[in-house]
């Protein structure tokens, strides 16, 4: 998945971090790391 | 005191009933928390999972769905992002076993899975709140393969929290159950 594809698939306002029962939007740094994880992901096995 | 079994017509005393409650409370596992996973979350932190009440725990995840196929549920403890050593022995069904190991990485990579049937995790966590290494062991259950995952986080940090992160995409729905093993 390319960076642009990841951003299109997971817009910033549609991905959340959950702490116990509370969800919040990601910070810019968290979102950047999340998108990079999608780009780097290799299916297993 | 062993569990008392009553017969018809027998007098049930408070002492006997309380003894049975104590027996039930002091054996097996106790549910500590049940956290409902929200919608399109990349990670879920359970902040008050571990304490001195129990030494060993079981984290169970069921229900819900991953956004992508072939998702792994990764486990981290507290804020620690280094020192995770683990080994996965696995096989696609009806095939020769293979292995994947990682040393000194940022997480326990294969603590659970997300597949077409939902989310699946049953991860033993040993001594996370003790001032010693934390060990984990989990069957890896998926629609494409099965495996056995084990690992160790070799530090003396006394953890109270853990985070489950989707290896790719997001998670929606399902429940994270945390159980404590009774000490005696």
Preceding peptide of B71 cis, ω within 30°:
no
Whether the CB-CB separation of B181 and B57 falls below 8 Å is answered with yes
Predicted TM-score of the model (pTM)? 0.89
Q: Judge whether B46 is closer than 8 Å to chain A, CB to CB.
A: yes
A17 interaction partners in chain B (CB closer than 8 Å): 41-43, 45
ipTM for the predicted complex comes to: 0.95
B2 — pLDDT class (breaks 50, 70, 90): low
Q: Of A9, A18, A21, which to mutate for an interface test with B (greatest number of B Cβ within 10 Å)?
A: A18
- Encode pLDDT of A1-45 as tens digits: 999 999 999 999 999 999 999 999 999 999 999 999 999 998 877
B108-115 and B98-105 beta bridge pairing: unpaired
Question: Does the beta-carbon distance from B90 to A34 stay under 8 Å?
Answer: no
pLDDT at B149: 97
Contact A21 B45 (CB under 8 A): no
**CA of A44: which chain B residue's CA is closest?**
B70
User: Which residues, other chains included, contact B15 with Cβ-Cβ below 8 Å and sequence gap of 6+?
Assistant: none
Tell me: pLDDT of B54 over 60: yes
Q: What mean pLDDT comes out for the span B84-95?
A: 94
CA closest to A25 among chain B residues: B41
- Maximum pairwise Cα distance, chain A: 33
Q: Over pLDDT 70: what percentage of chain B?
A: 96
Q: Is there a contact between A38 and B168 if contact means CB atoms under 8 Å apart?
A: yes
**Chain B contact present for A2, CB below 8 A:** no
Partner residue facing B92 (CB), from A10, A16, A45? A45
Quote the minimal CA–CA distance from B159 to chain A in Å: 16
| Nearest-CB residue to A23 (from B38, B144, B167) | B38
DSSP characters over A1-45:
--HHHHHHHS-GGG-EEEETTEEEEPPHHHHHHHHHHHHH-----
Q: d(Cα A42, Cα B104) in Å, to the nearest integer?
A: 20
**CA dist., res. B131 & res. A28, Å (int):** 35
pLDDT of residue B26: 65
Q: Is the pLDDT of residue B1 over 70?
A: no
Of B42, B90, B170, the CB nearest to A45: B90
Domains of chain B: 29-181 (2.60.120)
């Amino acid at each position: 998945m390319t960076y642009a594809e990841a951003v299109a698939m997971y817009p910033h306002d549609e991905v959340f971090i959950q702490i116990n029962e509370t969800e919040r939007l990601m910070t810019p740094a968290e979102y950047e790391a999340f998108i990079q994880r999608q780009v780097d992901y290799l299916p297993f096995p | 005191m062993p569990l008392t079994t009553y017969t018809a017509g027998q007098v049930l005393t408070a002492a006997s009933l309380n003894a049975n409650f104590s027996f039930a409370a002091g054996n097996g596992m106790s549910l500590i928390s049940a956290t409902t996973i929200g919608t399109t979350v990349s990670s879920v932190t359970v902040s008050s999972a571990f304490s001195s009440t129990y030494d060993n725990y079981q984290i169970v995840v069921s229900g819900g769905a991953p956004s992508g196929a072939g998702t792994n549920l990764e486990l981290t403890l507290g804020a620690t992002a280094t020192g995770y050593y683990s080994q996965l022995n696995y096989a696609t069904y009806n095939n020769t076993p293979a292995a994947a190991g990682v040393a000194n990485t940022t997480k326990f990579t294969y603590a659970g899975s997300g597949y077409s049937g939902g989310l699946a995790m049953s991860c033993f966590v040993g001594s996370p709140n003790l001032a010693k290494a934390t060990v984990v062991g989990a069957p890896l259950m998926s629609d494409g393969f099965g495996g056995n995952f084990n690992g160790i986080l070799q530090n003396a940090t006394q953890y109270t929290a853990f985070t489950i992160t989707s290896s790719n995409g997001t998670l929606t729905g399902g429940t994270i159950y945390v159980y404590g093993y009774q000490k005696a």
